[in-house]
């Protein structure tokens, strides 16, 4: 990916030109047809993704209720970063909602780059933390909403 294009993605927007060039070399493009599974909950997480075009649905199977969409992500959005933070299985399904092009970075490649460039690691990890925090807040709001609905039934 071109470093200038990479800088338009919020996750990488504050990186220096040198860091953008290093990160840009790591990734590779992957394409998915509409409804194609990118990964399933429980799969091992070895890659992190940025949506280049199309849309990706992040969802969980809810026993007795079916699929619950947690988010629909469009261009510039990223997902799968939890796999970069820990070695636990995927926490949700990711499915191409439309025909989708993704830019993928392998965990091992990003780990190696961050070990070599600790200032880059610091910047990226703080951005990941802010993203995860925002997503946790959204999830808490959804849980509160579901509790409110179920207690009124």
CATH number of the domain encompassing residue 81: 2.60.120.10
- 134, 73, 26, 30: CA torsion to nearest 10: 160
76: in domain: yes
Q: What is the extent of the structural domain holding 77?
A: 28-106
91: in domain: yes
Condensed to tens digits (0 to 9), the pLDDT of residues 52-100 reads 999 999 999 888 878 888 889 999 898 998 777 787 899 899 999 999 9
Distance CA 80, CA 84 (A): 8
Distance CA 52, CA 139 (A): 25
Nearest by Cα to 123 from 14, 8, 50: 14
Condensed to tens digits (0 to 9), the pLDDT of residues 8-57 reads 888 888 888 999 999 999 999 999 999 999 999 999 998 999 999 999 99
140: in domain: no
Instruction: Please tell me the total count of domains within the chain.
Output: 1
pTM of the model: 0.81
Integer CA distances (angstroms), 123 to 4, 19, 49, 66, 80, in order: 18, 10, 18, 38, 18
The kind and range of the H/E element at 17 are helix 17-24
């Amino acid at each position: 990916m071109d470093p200038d294009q990479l800088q338009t993605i919020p996750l990488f927007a504050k990186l220096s030109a040198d860091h953008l060039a290093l990160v840009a070399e790591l990734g590779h493009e992957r394409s998915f047809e509409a409804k194609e599974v990118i990964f399933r909950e429980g799969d091992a997480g070895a890659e992190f993704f940025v949506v280049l075009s199309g849309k990706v649905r992040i969802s969980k199977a809810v026993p007795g209720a079916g699929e619950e969409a947690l988010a629909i992500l469009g261009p510039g959005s990223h997902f799968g970063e939890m796999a970069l933070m820990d070695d636990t299985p995927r926490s949700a399904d990711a499915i191409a909602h439309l025909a989708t092009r993704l830019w993928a970075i392998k965990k091992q490649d990003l780990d190696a780059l961050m070990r070599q460039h600790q200032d880059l690691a610091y910047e990226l990890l703080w951005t990941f933390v802010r993203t995860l925090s925002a997503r946790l807040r959204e999830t808490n709001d959804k849980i509160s909403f579901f509790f409110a609905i179920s207690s009124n039934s």
